[in-house]
Structure 1
Amino acid sequence: MIIFPTEKRLEMSRAPFVLIALILLNVFIYFTYQSGDNEKAGRAIESYMERNFLEQEYPIFVDYLKAEEDKVTLERVEQFYYDEQLVNVAASILMHTEFYSHLQRYAKSEFELSFYNEWRRPRQEIQDQFSSISSFSGGLISNDVSVSDLLSHQFLHGSVSHLLGNMVFLFIFGYAVEAAIGHLRFLVFYLVGGVFAGLAQVVTHLDSGVPLVGASGAISGVMAMYLAVFRFKKIEFFYWVLFFVGYFRAPALLILPFYIGKEIYSYMTAVDSNVAFMAHAGGFVAGAILIGVALLLSPKLLDQSYLDEDQDFSPRQKALAKIYSAIDALRFDSALTQLNQLIQAEGLDYELANIRYNLNRVVRNKTFSRELNEFLSLSNLSIEQKKELAQVWQTTGEQYATLAPDELLKLALKILTPNNSVAAKSIHERLFQLETRPADLKLLTQKLMEVFAQEHDHHNLSLFKERYQSLTQECAHGHL
């Protein structure tokens, strides 16, 4: 289930300069400063493996983890070793800076003197190289905290998906908060919230040497500010539950129990997760306190005209809001009636056809097959919509669609995209069984061969090459 607010639209008259700058800075840092991290880590691990340090250090590392009662890391590393994923074992050892400190103290007694003399200097160089990656040089490490790291960790991310997820949620909540409280105050509160998020993680994991990176703590603070700004004001929310998507209006604080519940559930169940839940909690509390104190000191702080400004909804948006409201109340028949009225007024497009399809999967009325045919016959679709339509065909189309052969052929050609050949192949099989004209099937067969070649699917490529030759021969003999 996904729920997030969509109350305010982005307005250039209140352009969120700080928010845009923060997003651009995060993106710039990831794709420039952090771009060499994988290469640095790879070189360090390669050197470590080539010198056979793993063979000597692994037993000591296991004993160290047992002594530290770090069962989670121990189980993970032993599984890597058992599965012969030695690169992952090496990475785990190099990431564990406390273990290296332990090794430096006890290496002379653990290793033979000849090996120790060969090990000491290159091992330091390898560790220095590995520790130069951004998460160690700029991340927040609980057992080695610096003031600069309390700020820098907020602008580092572990992956593209980590960066993208954080920036999306920063944008969703951030631009309305910046418009409501002002540019400078938003920047200060954002950074301070991130600092307190980091401190919350530190004080709850004092012995940890795992670096904390990411803007999620600061973003949790922004979420708290968003709720404090709108409070009990009824705002628009977007939701996505299973195959239902829509909008509804409710007090802003409605999102609070969902957020807290999700965090507590994740914290209690995701024991091995690398998500910093305490940082989320610290940032949220800090954001709430910051905006609360600011409002106490300056009750007229908020841009009330902006908050009271009504959204300019189009007739279509208003009609969709009523439809989603009916769906939310499980009044599916009413939702279908209103949806059909909207389709009659505006015509059938992909969004409306998709809503009708999902409703029909629940209600399954007499017109389901016909309306499914209409959905599958839509044109001018995006790449993503074509992939979704291919999924529709695989889910219900094969069983319930009653398209004529020429319409099936159009559908197959429409949804056939690289790495998405399954649905088109199943349509080809149906057309082949229906003894469709060879000339028509040739084109689809050729297109499928091109996709199979891109997918490196040699089995299907060989099969459809034979079929293409057979169809060519039939065409040559006049079977058009």
Structure 2
Amino acid sequence: MLIIPIIGKISLRNPPALTILLMLINVVIYFGLQFGDMAKSMSAQQFYFESGLVEIELPRYLAFTEGHAYTDEDLAALENLEEAALHDLLGRSIRDGRFQRALDNDQIIRPDDPAYAEWKPVRAEFRKRYESSVSVKWGFRPIYHRPATAFTYMFLHGGLGHLIGNMVFLWLVGCILEYGAGRVSYLIIYLLGGLTAVGLFYAINYTSALPLVGASGSIAALMGALAVLFGKEKIRIFFTVGFYFNTFRIMAIYLLPLWMGNELFQLFFGGASHVAYTAHIGGLIGGAGLAFLHRRFWRETNTEVLGDDEEDTTSPVLEEAMTHMSKLEFGPARRLLVALQEEEPDNPEILRLLFGIDRHYPERPQIHQTSVAYMKHLSQDIDDRDELIKTYDRYMSAVKTPKLPPVLFLGLCRALTASGRPKDAQRILGMLLKNKPDMPGLPTACLRLADAWKQAGNADLVKRCRLVILKRFPKSPEAAELREALQQG
């Protein structure tokens, strides 16, 4: 069973920088420092078999596990094992912290043992090779625990799949926590939650020599914190059970027993696994506790990150209107769109569809109202310039007499000038100079048109535009700029 939350909103102006930074740290450490760990592990294992350690240590490990002193019968038992069984036995011996510690303390192979002189330097070389792996050196090994590794293990991973899986969960959960709790609390929960994860792992596996690696303990802490911080707020989750998957909304606090129950089930009934479920449980508990303290003493949680709970009623109506339009049923489509426009008067998709309908009926007055509303919206964003000009062309080809406000004509003049259509821009500008000679913005429009004609290589029209500025708007900044240019050159 998989249960993951789905973030509602990501702000490009305020990106989840800390989550991205943590992900980058994990990725850089894996590819920059850990990528050769597998080769080092294989090299150490090969050395173990070729150096003769297998005949010295593993028979004694068999005796150690059975609780009796080493005898030649243990060596004979080892010789009867197949290669796969030998590799499995080696893995078990390396993970067995009590055996490894006893070896280190010369309690298994004592100085008076005939094999000691041969074994000791070879053992030291094997340990050097084995511990050259970043995962072994900086992962948390309970029997060899060091304070530093209680932190460093959080940024190490056992393989590419392990890394990718953790980074997906870190992104999904981390973004919600970063926006909801704030970056300071988020980082505290990540680090201290990782410590509670390793703490429970150590308490239960204190004799293990196997290194604990992975960000999943810290991520589990973030998951526990998410459930407590958002409490009764409903959060959208994605879940799978077998081949079935779906999404639904659930109160965040219910996720804590669901996640905890899943980890406990996997721990006790999931069979043999290298997954550190005890660390996950420790992380969930630690994160939930830290989140409780956050709510109690620190600050409120920003629940807007979960997204808008309101149902989308616009899209179904738009789809129904477009279905009518595809069947040329413009009347029903327009009625739906007009009703929708009363609630969302500035919705560009509604305006676009209304214009698409009304241009089929140029004799009706609605064509002018709809065109003005749509072109006003398009004129607000330079990225919509091409759509603005296309809409203007369609409008002009549909109507006999255009009825656009002067300010919109001026905006169209600027757009046409910038799009390399100075002839059309000049036609609009001439009309404005005739009907609205005192309109603000005309001198600037004339100057831009002069520049456009200059780029087109038409010196006569450049001169004509400049004369219009000098004669009609002699006190304008544009006229002063032209006079200064004429004096200089």
TM normalised by structure 1 equals 0.59
The answer as to whether partners of 2:5 and 2:235 remain within 8 angstroms in 1 is yes
The root-mean-square deviation of aligned C-alpha atoms, in Å, is 3.5
The offset of 1:345, in angstroms, is 9.3
Equivalent position of 1:154 in the other structure: 154
Q: 1:84 to 1:191 in 2, by over 3 A?
A: closer
Q: What is the total number of aligned residue pairs between the two structures?
A: 316
Alignment pair present for 1:276 and 2:276: yes
Cα distance in 1 for residues equivalent to 2:61 and 2:18: 46
Alignment pair present for 1:22 and 2:3: no
The one-letter code of the counterpart of 1:179 is Y
The offset of 1:271, in angstroms, is 4.7
The answer as to whether partners of 1:140 and 1:150 remain within 8 angstroms in 2 is yes
The offset of 1:201, in angstroms, is 1.0
Q: 1:239 to 1:208 in 2, by over 3 A?
A: closer
The offset of 1:220, in angstroms, is 0.9
Secondary structure of the 1:212 match is coil
1:36-435, aligned counterparts within 5 Å? 36-67=36-67, 81-82=81-82, 84-96=84-96, 98-104=98-104, 105-106=106-107, 108-109=109-110, 113=114, 115-298=115-298, 300-306=299-305, 309-310=308-309
Equivalent position of 1:467 in the other structure: none
Equivalent position of 1:371 in the other structure: none
CA displacement, residues 197-241 of structure 1 (integer Å, 9 cap, x when unaligned): 111111222222222111111111100111122211222222334
From the CA coordinates, give the structure whose radius of gyration is larger. Answer: 2
Secondary structure of the 2:144 match is coil
Q: 1:80 to 1:159 in 2, by over 3 A?
A: farther
CA displacement, residues 428-476 of structure 1 (integer Å, 9 cap, x when unaligned): xxxxxxxxxxxxxxxxxxxxxxxxxxxxxxxxxxxxxxxxxxxxxxxxx
Segments of 5+ residues of structure 2 without an aligned counterpart are 69-76, 327-489
Q: 1:205 to 1:79 in 2, by over 3 A?
A: farther
CA displacement, residues 384-435 of structure 1 (integer Å, 9 cap, x when unaligned): xxxxxxxxxxxxxxxxxxxxxxxxxxxxxxxxxxxxxxxxxxxxxxxxxxxx
The answer as to whether partners of 2:193 and 2:221 remain within 8 angstroms in 1 is yes
Q: 1:344 to 1:261 in 2, by over 3 A?
A: farther
The offset of 1:106, in angstroms, is 3.7
Segments of 5+ residues of structure 1 without an aligned counterpart are 69-76, 320-337, 348-480
Cα distance in 2 for residues equivalent to 1:20 and 1:304: 21
Equivalent position of 1:335 in the other structure: none
The offset of 1:140, in angstroms, is 1.1
Q: 1:315 to 1:153 in 2, by over 3 A?
A: farther
The offset of 1:344, in angstroms, is 7.7
Secondary structure of the 1:15 match is coil
Equivalent position of 2:13 in the other structure: 13
Equivalent position of 2:435 in the other structure: none
The one-letter code of the counterpart of 1:138 is W
TM normalised by structure 2 equals 0.58
Secondary structure of the 2:34 match is coil
The offset of 1:284, in angstroms, is 1.1
Q: 1:270 to 1:297 in 2, by over 3 A?
A: same
The offset of 1:310, in angstroms, is 4.8
